[in-house]
Amino acid sequence: MPTAISRNLNQNIDAFSRLFGDCADIKTRRMKLGKDLKTQCFIAYVEVAVGNMLLENSVLGKLLNTLWEMPEEQILLYLRENAFGISDVTEYDNLEDAATGMLTGDAIFFIDGYDRALKIKDKGYPNMGVKEPQSEKSVRGSNEGFAESIKVNTALIRKRLRTPKVKVRESFAGRRSHTNVDLVYMEDLVRPDLLAAIEERLGEFEIDGVLDSGIVEQLAEGSWISPFPQFQTTQRPDRAAMAILEGRIVLLTDNSPVALILPTGYNSFIQTADDYYTRWEIASFTRLLRYIASFLAMTLPGLYLAVSNFHTQILPTDLLLSFAAARQGVPFPAVVEVLIMELAFELLREAGVRIPGALGNTIGIVGGLIIGQAAVDANIVSPIVVIVVALTALCSFTIPNEEFATAFRILKFLFILLCAYLGFFGFLLSLLAVLIHLSHLQSFGIPYLTPFVGPDLNRYDDERDTFLRLPLGFLKRRPIYTRENARVRLKMKKREEKKNVL
């Protein structure tokens, strides 16, 4: 049962002390207020999270300075009538809720004779602040990235969508961490059934702590066995705002600079924010490159094995002789060559991520060159395998979303093994298995291959933003994620030609 806050200050102090015993970082302070210093009060806060309470620019300091000058009989009346006009003040009637409010990084204020606790906003926990996103570089567009504070992140979205139609639903996840989780959406665009399904999914699990949005993603995804992510991740506020304008929902988790966008699909992972900031010709060209790269990142090593081991007749004679000459002296079968180089590259990639600073990038580049050249000189692998593996790596780096690229990195080993033993038949078998899996995969009721499947559901308008991004004047309807009666997003006004009067 929750412990009700008493009018007796000493009882509240005793209960609070029992709740936070052996917590050296929880600071408490007893004071006397009023002109005659007869009214006792008690303040509790997390060390570092709350600034100097007596500073003039501190909300809590201003409140205390006001109360110090008041007669004793007016203090309680002032708190009841005016406390909520000071700033972001929340009132609690039980000790457990007040403690949870304090652990968000604010101060809790108790006063003798008042059976409520006041949470008063202060500077909060330290965080990294707004910085440039590291994993989603943009040629053109904003350089702001999400911070680790959920309040900062919601403010960055509101900075771009200045309408009261943007709603933020707050909840808490983690039985012990009590982590803030916000759902941000556009009220008149989001589908009510989608919002209800997401809230239901978030309520299906209970865990000790949620320390990052990745934990929510894994627990809430529909098909945990699939290598393809069913939540789109982003560190860019403009990308999140763009998704909200499409009727999608952005999930923000406190202490995480990565937002989740849902629902999502294959086409959404290939798109980038600057696709819509540049002219349609270059946007279409780069997007087509990404589609080709996503296919080759999964299939290129397997295709090489299928052709070199089983179907050499499809190669020109000169190229076939070149392959044979390059493999002279190599003691391993072609499949072992490919696996050695692929695993070596994955080791270099992981080492580059774990080594701090610019040294990680240096290790990745220099290590790849040295190992590749040394392996060729030692006749462990042939030069053509090094080229194939390098091209596969370039293709995987071209995919904009890291989680999405990881799926192709895993699936390429399936293609390697089946193509090594079944040739082109193994390639077709692997490709068919991936396509069948993608055709059955859904993200909160939306087919993963939308709009390649069911294009008629949105009058074939979604096809204008797939392999090619048509000029913005042709993208007049929102995607299928939006509720049906709110899909028109662009209306072109008539352009009148102005004639020069001579």
183 plus 290 within the same structural domain: no
In a domain, 223, yes or no: yes
Average pLDDT of every residue of the chain = 85
Indicate if 295 and 258 belong to the same structural domain: no
Residue 252 inside a domain? The answer is yes
pLDDT tier at 502, thresholds 50, 70, 90: very low
Q: Tell me, yes or no, whether 250 lies in a domain.
A: yes
Which residue is it, tokens 């933020």? 168
In a domain, 136, yes or no: no
79: in domain = yes
Cβ neighbours of residue 149 under 8 Å, at least 6 residues apart? 124, 125, 127, 254, 255
Domain count, the chain: 3
Nearest to 268 by CA among 487, 479, 53: 479
pLDDT of residue 427: 95
Domain boundary among 235, 264, 293: 264
Helix (H, G, I), strand (E, B) or coil at 162: coil
Q: Write the pLDDT tens digit of every residue in 35-44.
A: 777 788 888 8
pLDDT of residue 499: 47
177-191 per-position pLDDT tens digit: 889 999 999 999 999
Flag whether pLDDT at 231 surpasses 80: yes
The SS3 assignment for 262 reads strand
Do 295 and 434 have their domain in common?
yes
Give me the pLDDT at residue 362, please: 64
Q: Which amino acid is at 152?
A: V
**Number of Cβ atoms within 10 Å of the Cβ of 81:** 9
pTM of the predicted model as reported, rounded to 2 decimal places: 0.85
pLDDT digits (tens, 9 = 90+) for 423-443: 999 999 999 999 999 999 999
Range of 332's domain? 280-447
Q: Give the pLDDT of residue 86.
A: 53
pLDDT tier, 415 (very low <50, low <70, confident <90, very high otherwise): very high
Say yes or no: 170 and 300 in one domain. Answer: no
Asked whether residue 488 is domain-assigned, the answer is no
- Assess whether 161 and 260 both reside in one domain: yes
> Over 70: is that where the pLDDT of 58 sits?
no
Could you say which of 239, 264, 289 is where a domain stops? 264
Distances (CA, A) of 438 to 226, 295, 296, 396, 442: 9, 14, 17, 19, 8
Are residues 191 and 292 part of one domain?
no
Give me the mean pLDDT over the 211-237 stretch.
Answer: 92
Longest dimension (CA), the chain: 103
Residue 361 pLDDT = 63
Residue 353 has pLDDT above 80, yes or no: no
| pLDDT number for residue 305 | 93
Interval 335-348 mean pLDDT = 89
Least confident of 25-34, 95-104, 211-220, 491-500: 491-500
Q: What is the pLDDT of residue 301?
A: 94
The proportion of the chain whose per-residue pLDDT surpasses 70, expressed as a percent, equals 90
Q: Are 354 and 382 contained in the same domain?
A: yes
Q: How confident is the model at residue 364 (pLDDT cuts 50, 70, 90)?
A: low
Report which of residues 294 and 329 the model is more confident about: 294
Per-residue model confidence as pLDDT tens digits over 283-319: 999 999 999 999 999 999 999 999 988 888 888 888 8
Q: Tell me the residue type at 402.
A: E
Task: Tell whether 497 is covered by a domain.
Answer: no
Tokens of 178: 């009590």
Query: How many percent of the chain have pLDDT more than 90?
Result: 40
Position 501 scores a pLDDT of 46
Domain contains 90? yes
Top pLDDT among 61 and 375 is at: 375
* pLDDT exceeds cutoff 80 at 370: no
Q: Are 169 and 183 in contact (CB under 8 A)?
A: yes
Instruction: Please indicate, yes or no, whether residues 304 and 411 belong to a single structural domain of this protein.
Output: yes
Average pLDDT of the residues in 337-354: 86
User: Looking at residue 360, what is its pLDDT?
Assistant: 63
Whether 298 and 422 map to the same domain: the answer is yes
Whether the pLDDT of residue 85 is over 60: the answer is no
Same-domain pairing of 87 and 186: no
Same domain, 66 and 107: yes
Q: Which of 77, 104, 120 is the last residue of a domain?
A: 120
b/e map 7-41, b = 16+ CB within 10 Å: eebeebbebbeeebeeeeebeeeeeebbeeeebbb
- Is residue 9 over pLDDT 80? yes
Average pLDDT over residues 160-171: 91
The reply to whether 175 and 310 lie within a common domain is no
